[in-house]
A and B are shown apart, each in its own frame.
Chain A
Amino acid sequence: MTAGSGLSRLEGRDKVTGAARYAYEYPVEDVLYVCPVGATVASGTVTEVDGTAALADPEVVAVVDHTNAPRLLPAVTADELVFQSPSVAYRGQPVAAVVATTLEAAQEGAAQVLVRYVEHPHRVALDPDDPDLEQPETTNAGFPGTSVKGDVDAALADADVVVDHVYTTPPQHNNPMETVAIIARWDGDRLLLHDSNQGPWAAATGFGMLWGIPPEQVSVVTEHVGGGFGSKVWPTAGAVVASVAARVTGRPCKLMLTRQQMFTMAPARTATRSHLRLGARRDGTMTAIDHDTLQYSSVIHEFVEQTGSATRTMYASDNLRIRHRLARLNLPTPRVMRAPGKTPGMFAVESAMDELAYALGLDPLELRLRNEPSTDPASGLPFDGRHLVDCLQVGADKFGWTARDPTPAARRRGRWLFGTGLASAMYPVYQQGGKATARAEPDGTFHVSVAAVDIGTGARTALWQEAASVLGVRSVVIHIGRSAYGRSSLAGGSAGTASWGGAVRKACAELRRLLAEHGGAVPRDGLEVTADTAADQLPPDKARHSYGAHFCAVRVDADTGQVRVDRLLGVFAHGHALNARTAHSQLLGGMVMGVSMALHEQTVIDPRLGLFVNHDLAQYHIATHADIRGLEAHSLERADDDVTLVGGKGIGELGIVGSAAAVANAVFHATGVRVRDLPITLERVRAA
């Protein structure tokens, strides 16, 4: 089985039979259970943590808080610096933890800990008129906070047609099936972790920074992970609590966040507000794109969602202005989630494009064709493979778009109103350098190790295929999930498999050369090569993205306003896929997330209490099976998209980008109601 083919997952049987062992499941002698206690005020100072009642239970070993926790050093965000001060920046922030010999005792102990506070006023509402908004210089992933080309205001004033609307997305939470889970153990000044994360090397680095030890002194084992979506990219507050508890008690400590704790002790996506103004000439040529974005971060750390970053590169316009503003609220620091920035930003852009098409009397596909840029609009760089038009046209053909009557609210059968909509997708190409080791044994087997992690993407299988393909044999054993394998990429930025795969390819190719030098014979001690791709990275001379197009058909109940997505068809240009089956699965998964974002997902904030209200999966709705019908993903493997060390471009996050706008645009076509605030709830559809 070679690269590109649809080999099923190597660990599939282990997973479905329960044999696959996840972080929390490793048997550890003398282990203690940890339950964090979250703050019950949204802003304030802890004046007392009274653990007396908790400690009365003989099964409770310790109560940890800011008075007895060891000092930590700044790492990735301030949220991870647990128990370092009595300050409370948001509700749910860990203020104590109970450590006990049983899980039940730890949880009951946490309920018995009495925390007293001096409460301060708090702010949790995203308000465009907030006088304290910040204008950050850069956003997450290093985009400029503000970028301006030409004179947007003059172009808008001169435009024949202007679309000017505000689009919002609510806070959203990553909800992997497996919550944050960890077993932490100290061996002198070595930290040993069984941890659920999106990169064992990143975990070793992050924990090392927190504890002031080199990453080599942190041993991270991450064999299987039940999903991440961004929530496990760096050590979470929840996971750090376990390492602190282990330090304080001197015993191994295990912790698995409850679903409710995931909402404040692991990161989520900020709410966003996009003010979009598009100007165009009567013939559809766009003359101005103005995207003014607002997002929040916590009061203890600056994280700026790159909400406007996709807008920099989508459509041609001589006048382009992207701005990011930041509110500082008493909420956990938001971080990356499922195509950060691109997902909320493209909901706004692709909705506004649909509105512009209607304002011009143009087909929305035609509008996009007329504004296809020849070079990257913001940077002027040439593109390294850009097949947006290809995706749109192939998608239109497969979907049957051309016969579409654009008139809104004109197709009713019985109680149902029918409509269709489209939207574009894009995701940048990222690739990180890292190490991989390939080893040949005299018995004919090969062992390839890389500090990769399979968070459900199929990475393990794809990497095995890469190794087998380069080595030309099937007798390859792939080893991933250990920081000990050396510096390596995260499963993030849709870059994991390309980055790890690049290192695996290089190591295997060098081993093959070495083998040839030995005449094909493996010496008794074996042959081993460690390759590093740090110097093999893409030069910043071109604009590199993968692209896609979504076509959506919905029906809306004319009596109730309920929306059902009958069909969502995506066409994606991402170049060569290492494994066609798991690539397809990832694209479908992204599209499901897009439907979920369009119709369901929102974390509700109680402004009075500063509370994430719906902090479980009964209340935080994600799409169920019944919500997903007629899902199709098609891939265009164009050779000029083969830009990374393994060929193609990233796939993981592409499917979600733009999909919510395709749904919203279809709802407009069905009903004549433009919902600009996600999710598209029935009362929003009925409001018009």
Chain B
Amino acid sequence: MRAFRYARATDPGGAAALVAGEPDAVYLGGGTNLVDLMKLGVLRPGLVVDVSRLPYDRIEHLPDGGVLIGGAARGGRIMRDEALRRRYPAVTRALLSGASAQIRTQATVAGNLLQRTRCPYFQNTATPCNKRDPGSGCSAIPGAHRDLGVIGTSEHCVATHPSDLAVALAAYDAVVEVRRPDGAEVLVPIADLHRLPGDTPWIETVLEPGDLVTGVQLPPPPSGAVATYRKVRDRWSFAFATVSVAAVWSADEVALALGGVAPKPWRLTATERMLAGTDPTDDEVRAASRAAFTDARPLPDNAFKIELAADLVAAVLRDLRSTGAGR
């Protein structure tokens, strides 16, 4: 590991001041991904600024029925929030399905959204990777890509975003609060936070240097909505999603977001349009789900994810229907 300096920010302005003029500075939240990547030599920051103790750890239920979750809030606490579990079950289920109890307790919301792909080549400095080493080539496309993306990818990168939480937030149309280095607060819809790789896979979000994710706003869930998050993975705990789905379903609309298939939480907008206001059969859900993959770029060993996603969406809507959703 490269030797680095550590500084703890005591207030938001201080955090911005600490990283100003430090091109190899990073913010530290729970450290559950950053520190791993530093040990692997994937990230070699010169300065680590700990922002985990800034006053952004609140969970605030708003009068309009929405909720604000601070960027420094940790997963363990979020899951214990009774109102959140009742009103946004897809969020708390997504959190519960991620990582292990120890990691959830340590990891922050901001760090969760900004965590890096678990593509094995990205994490191995002895192999080419366009995301880690621009222009060196993608090892995954001709190599081991079974766990990687099938849509939104490019010829330069097929990495997936590994978060479960972000998928659920996407289904609720969450908005990310960002504090700019100059103190300005900007709001970024979660759908716009992550960028697709295109020919610049090393640029993963719209954030600029020094930007700090201070929280996530969840709008009130649609009236009468039922929601869930279901994760298909290779073992029953402590594994990233092969495919996961967050579904928020009400009489008039359905929101569907997938994990495990794309470089960002992937909303099935075409599917949503086809299913809104209907009471579809399993086969209709599958057909509508496939329609969202017309632009897919599956690879030989991960093409199964598309049909798996269609089956999973059908299964989840079937389960939600039995709890009184939709109609």
Residues of A bordering B, CB below 8 Å: 38, 40, 104, 107-108, 111, 260, 415, 559-562, 564, 599-600, 604, 606, 608-609, 611, 613-615, 618-619, 621, 623-627, 681-683, 686-687
Indicate whether A562 sits within 8 Å of B232 (C-beta atoms), given known contacts A415-B315, A606-B144: yes
How many angstroms between the C-alpha atoms of A687 and B301 in the bound complex?
Answer: 12
Contact B232 A682 (CB under 8 A): yes
Taking CB atoms, residues of chain A closer than 8 Å to B235 are 599-600, 621, 623-624, 626-627
Indicate whether A560 sits within 8 Å of B232 (C-beta atoms), given known contacts A111-B41, A609-B127, A683-B304: yes
Indicate whether A609 sits within 8 Å of B308 (C-beta atoms), given known contacts A104-B3, A627-B235: no
How many angstroms between the C-alpha atoms of A614 and B120 in the bound complex?
Answer: 6
Contact B120 A559 (CB under 8 A): no
Contact A686 B142 (CB under 8 A): no
Contact B120 A624 (CB under 8 A): no
Taking CB atoms, residues of chain B closer than 8 Å to A618 are 118
Contact B120 A625 (CB under 8 A): no
How many angstroms between the C-alpha atoms of A686 and B142 in the bound complex?
Answer: 24
Indicate whether A624 sits within 8 Å of B232 (C-beta atoms), given known contacts A104-B3, A560-B312: no
B144: nearest chain-A partner, CB-CB: A613
- Contact of B242 with A by CB under 8 A: yes
Indicate whether A559 sits within 8 Å of B311 (C-beta atoms), given known contacts A627-B235, A627-B237: yes
Contact A682 B315 (CB under 8 A): no
9 A–B pairs (Cβ distance < 8 Å), ordered by A = A104-B1, A111-B41, A564-B236, A599-B235, A609-B143, A611-B124, A621-B234, A624-B238, A683-B308
Taking CB atoms, residues of chain B closer than 8 Å to A559 are 311-312, 314-315
Choose from B120, B126, B239 the contact partner of A621 (Cβ within 8 Å): B239
Taking CB atoms, residues of chain A closer than 8 Å to B314 are 559
- Contact of B112 with A by CB under 8 A: no
- Contact of B217 with A by CB under 8 A: no
Indicate whether A681 sits within 8 Å of B234 (C-beta atoms), given known contacts A108-B2, A111-B41, A560-B315: yes
How many angstroms between the C-alpha atoms of A625 and B311 in the bound complex?
Answer: 27
Contact B1 A108 (CB under 8 A): yes
Indicate whether A619 sits within 8 Å of B232 (C-beta atoms), given known contacts A559-B311, A560-B312: no
- Contact of B271 with A by CB under 8 A: no
- Contact of B92 with A by CB under 8 A: no
Indicate whether A560 sits within 8 Å of B143 (C-beta atoms), given known contacts A626-B236, A626-B237: no
- Contact of B139 with A by CB under 8 A: yes
Output the least CB separation between A8 and chain B (Å). 27
Output the least CB separation between B33 and chain A (Å). 11
How many angstroms between the C-alpha atoms of A609 and B124 in the bound complex?
Answer: 12
A38: nearest chain-B partner, CB-CB: B126
B240: nearest chain-A partner, CB-CB: A618
User: 1/0 contact trace for B256-293 toward A, CB 8 Å?
Assistant: 00000000000000000000000000000000000000
In residues 171-213 of chain B, which contact A (Cβ within 8 Å)?
none
Q: Is the interface of B mostly helix, strand, loop or mixed?
A: loop
Most buried by B among A564, A599, A618: A618
Contact B234 A600 (CB under 8 A): yes
How many angstroms between the C-alpha atoms of A619 and B123 in the bound complex?
Answer: 11
How many angstroms between the C-alpha atoms of A682 and B315 in the bound complex?
Answer: 16
Contact A107 B139 (CB under 8 A): no
Taking CB atoms, residues of chain A closer than 8 Å to B2 are 108, 111
How many angstroms between the C-alpha atoms of A287 and B252 in the bound complex?
Answer: 67
A687: nearest chain-B partner, CB-CB: B304
Output the least CB separation between B233 and chain A (Å). 8
Interface size class of B (residues with CB under 8 A): 20 to 34
How many angstroms between the C-alpha atoms of A114 and B122 in the bound complex?
Answer: 20
Output the least CB separation between A686 and chain B (Å). 7
Taking CB atoms, residues of chain A closer than 8 Å to B234 are 599-600, 621, 681-682
Taking CB atoms, residues of chain B closer than 8 Å to A104 are 1, 3
Most buried by B among A104, A107, A560, A604: A560
Taking CB atoms, residues of chain B closer than 8 Å to A624 are 235-238
Output the least CB separation between B125 and chain A (Å). 8
B121: nearest chain-A partner, CB-CB: A613
Choose from B40, B124, B126, B236 the contact partner of A627 (Cβ within 8 Å): B236
Output the least CB separation between A102 and chain B (Å). 10
- Knowing that A614-B120, A682-B242, A682-B308 touch, tell me 18 more A-B residue pairs with CB under 8 angstroms: A107-B1, A108-B1, A111-B125, A560-B232, A560-B312, A564-B236, A604-B144, A608-B139, A608-B143, A613-B121, A613-B143, A619-B120, A621-B235, A621-B239, A625-B237, A686-B307, A686-B308, A687-B304
User: 1/0 contact trace for B92-127 toward A, CB 8 Å?
Assistant: 000000000000000000000000001011001111
Taking CB atoms, residues of chain A closer than 8 Å to B143 are 606, 608-609, 611, 613
User: 1/0 contact trace for B53-94 toward A, CB 8 Å?
Assistant: 000000000000000000000000000000000000000000
Output the least CB separation between A38 and chain B (Å). 8
Output the least CB separation between A585 and chain B (Å). 22
Output the least CB separation between B192 and chain A (Å). 29
A112: nearest chain-B partner, CB-CB: B2
How many angstroms between the C-alpha atoms of A542 and B118 in the bound complex?
Answer: 53
Output the least CB separation between A634 and chain B (Å). 25
Taking CB atoms, residues of chain B closer than 8 Å to A40 are 126
How many angstroms between the C-alpha atoms of A228 and B234 in the bound complex?
Answer: 25
Taking CB atoms, residues of chain A closer than 8 Å to B242 are 682
How many angstroms between the C-alpha atoms of A626 and B97 in the bound complex?
Answer: 12
Taking CB atoms, residues of chain B closer than 8 Å to A107 are 1
Most buried by B among A260, A561, A609, A614: A609
Taking CB atoms, residues of chain B closer than 8 Å to A38 are 126
A681: nearest chain-B partner, CB-CB: B234
B315: nearest chain-A partner, CB-CB: A559
Taking CB atoms, residues of chain A closer than 8 Å to B142 are 608
Output the least CB separation between B298 and chain A (Å). 12
How many angstroms between the C-alpha atoms of A107 and B1 in the bound complex?
Answer: 6
How many angstroms between the C-alpha atoms of A563 and B198 in the bound complex?
Answer: 36
Contact B308 A108 (CB under 8 A): no
B310: nearest chain-A partner, CB-CB: A559
Most buried by B among A559, A560, A683: A559
B128: nearest chain-A partner, CB-CB: A609
Most buried by A among B40, B237, B238, B315: B238
Contact A606 B139 (CB under 8 A): yes
Choose from A560, A599, A623, A627 the contact partner of B308 (Cβ within 8 Å): A560
How many angstroms between the C-alpha atoms of A562 and B233 in the bound complex?
Answer: 8
Taking CB atoms, residues of chain B closer than 8 Å to A609 are 127, 139, 143
How many angstroms between the C-alpha atoms of A599 and B239 in the bound complex?
Answer: 13
How many angstroms between the C-alpha atoms of A228 and B118 in the bound complex?
Answer: 28
Taking CB atoms, residues of chain A closer than 8 Å to B125 are 111
Output the least CB separation between A613 and chain B (Å). 4
When A and B form their complex, which 10 residue pairs have the shortest distance between CB atoms, in order from nearest? A626-B237, A626-B236, A559-B315, A683-B304, A606-B143, A624-B237, A613-B144, A40-B126, A613-B120, A560-B232
Output the least CB separation between A262 and chain B (Å). 14
How many angstroms between the C-alpha atoms of A681 and B2 in the bound complex?
Answer: 38
Output the least CB separation between A559 and chain B (Å). 4
Output the least CB separation between A164 and chain B (Å). 27
How many angstroms between the C-alpha atoms of A141 and B81 in the bound complex?
Answer: 58
How many angstroms between the C-alpha atoms of A37 and B183 in the bound complex?
Answer: 45
Indicate whether A108 sits within 8 Å of B236 (C-beta atoms), given known contacts A559-B315, A604-B144, A682-B308: no
Output the least CB separation between A83 and chain B (Å). 19
How many angstroms between the C-alpha atoms of A196 and B202 in the bound complex?
Answer: 41
Taking CB atoms, residues of chain B closer than 8 Å to A561 are 308
Output the least CB separation between B206 and chain A (Å). 28
Taking CB atoms, residues of chain B closer than 8 Å to A619 are 118, 120
B120: nearest chain-A partner, CB-CB: A613
How many angstroms between the C-alpha atoms of A606 and B140 in the bound complex?
Answer: 9
Taking CB atoms, residues of chain A closer than 8 Å to B144 are 604, 606, 613-614
B242: nearest chain-A partner, CB-CB: A682
How many angstroms between the C-alpha atoms of A111 and B304 in the bound complex?
Answer: 38
B302: nearest chain-A partner, CB-CB: A683
How many angstroms between the C-alpha atoms of A379 and B198 in the bound complex?
Answer: 64
Output the least CB separation between A183 and chain B (Å). 22
Output the least CB separation between B74 and chain A (Å). 20
Output the least CB separation between B104 and chain A (Å). 14
Taking CB atoms, residues of chain A closer than 8 Å to B127 are 609, 611
